[in-house]
């Protein structure tokens, strides 16, 4: 089995951070990286000690929840709070950054933005990234990881059959495979 790429590794960290989000409209995670080391992470949620959207609903003004701090901002602020420089760093975000986060990323000196999903990619944010020389790149993680997991699972089922696993036990494992991956398997 081959190791996942650095881009997939850091994007997976961002997806994990997104699971901590307290926003009910969109869960986002961000990981700031320098020299292949994670220096900060953030997710979208309320201020420390504040009321959360999951508890009282979103506070929406002009179709935007103003209760939450975006994941990118939380990660950048974390660096500032603990004196960790962001100049020349990279950021991995589960969704394309909004216009305000785009400006914060540029001001923080972050030079590369990797995102998993397009999300209202604002034309001016794209223009600002280009003006500032910030490289943006989409990292598709789910398809690759699931494909590798499917292949490994299929190989393991074939090997178990070759090793003489009882037919009923093999059938049970096949059923689990089919449930997880929503497709049949033939060994």
For position 185, what pLDDT does the model report? 65
Sheet of 29-34, strand order: 37-43, 29-34, 90-95, 112-117, 135-138
| Mean pLDDT (whole number) for 53-67 | 90
Rg of the Cα trace of the chain? 21
Which residues are bridge partners to 114 per DSSP?
92, 137
Give me the residue label for tokens 């972050």.
110
Is residue 184's pLDDT more than 80?
A: no
Residue pointed to by tokens 């929406």: 60
Mean pLDDT across the chain, nearest whole number? 90
Is it the case that residue 148 has pLDDT exceeding 80? no
User: What is the arithmetic mean of pLDDT over 40-58?
Assistant: 93
Summarised one tens digit per residue, pLDDT across range 1-28 is 688 999 999 999 999 999 999 998 899 9
Q: What is the dihedral of CA 122, 17, 114, 134, to 10 degrees?
A: 70
**Of 98-112, 119-133, 171-185, the least confident:** 171-185
Q: Which pTM does this prediction carry?
A: 0.76
Separation of CA 127 from chain center: 23
- List of residues 6+ apart from 145 with CB closer than 8 A: 4, 8, 12
Segment 157-175, tens digit of pLDDT: 777 788 888 888 878 877 7
Set 72, 137, 168, 178: catalytic member? 72
Q: Give 117 or 142, the one with higher predicted confidence.
A: 117
**Catalytic annotation on 169?**
no
The pLDDT > 70 percentage for the chain reads 90
- Secondary-structure breakdown of the chain: helix, strand, coil percentages, each rounded to the nearest 5: 45, 20, 35
């Amino acid at each position: 089995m081959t190791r996942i790429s650095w881009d997939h590794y850091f994007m997976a960290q961002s997806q994990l951070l997104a699971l901590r989000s307290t926003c009910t409209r969109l869960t986002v995670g961000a990981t700031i990286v320098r020299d292949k080391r994670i220096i900060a992470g953030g997710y979208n949620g309320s201020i420390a000690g504040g009321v959360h959207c999951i508890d009282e609903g979103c506070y929406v003004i002009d179709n935007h929840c103003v209760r939450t701090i975006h994941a990118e901002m939380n990660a950048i602020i974390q660096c500032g709070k603990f004196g960790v420089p962001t100049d020349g760093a990279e950021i991995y975000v589960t969704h394309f950054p909004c216009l305000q986060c785009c400006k914060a990323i540029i001001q923080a000196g972050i030079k590369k933005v990797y995102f998993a999903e397009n999300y209202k990619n604002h034309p001016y944010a794209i223009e600002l990234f280009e003006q500032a020389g910030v490289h943006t790149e989409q990292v598709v993680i789910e398809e690759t990881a699931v494909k590798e997991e499917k292949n490994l699972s299929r190989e393991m089922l074939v090997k178990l059959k070759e090793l003489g696993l009882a037919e009923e036990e093999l059938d049970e494992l096949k059923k689990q495979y089919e449930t997880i991956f929503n497709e049949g398997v033939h060994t």
